[in-house]
Amino acid sequence: MSQGFKLRFDQMRENSPAKTEIEQEPVFVRPDDTVHPIGHARNLCLVWPDGRRAFFNYAYLVSADFDPNNAMNVIRLGFSSQNVLLQGYGLEALFMQLLDHLPRIITAIDPRYLPVETGSGSIVVNIEVEVAE
pLDDT digits 0-9 by tens, 100-124: 988 999 999 998 888 777 666 889 9
Q: Would you kindly state where each structural domain of the chain is located, as residue ranges?
A: 43-131
Cα(40)–Cα(100) distance, integer angstroms: 15
Cα(122)–Cα(90) distance, integer angstroms: 5
Q: For residue range 70-99, list pLDDT tens digits in order.
A: 889 999 999 999 999 999 999 999 999 999
- Bridge partners of 77, per DSSP, are 64, 84
Largest CA distance in the chain: 76
In this predicted structure, which of 4-8, 22-26, 30-34, 97-101 has the lowest mean pLDDT?
30-34
Q: Indicate whether 16 pLDDT > 90.
A: no
Cα(35)–Cα(21) distance, integer angstroms: 34
Question: Residue 56's pLDDT band (boundaries 50, 70, 90)?
Answer: very high
Cα(78)–Cα(39) distance, integer angstroms: 24
What are the two backbone dihedrals, phi and then psi, of residue 113, each rounded to the nearest 5 degrees?
Answer: -105, 25
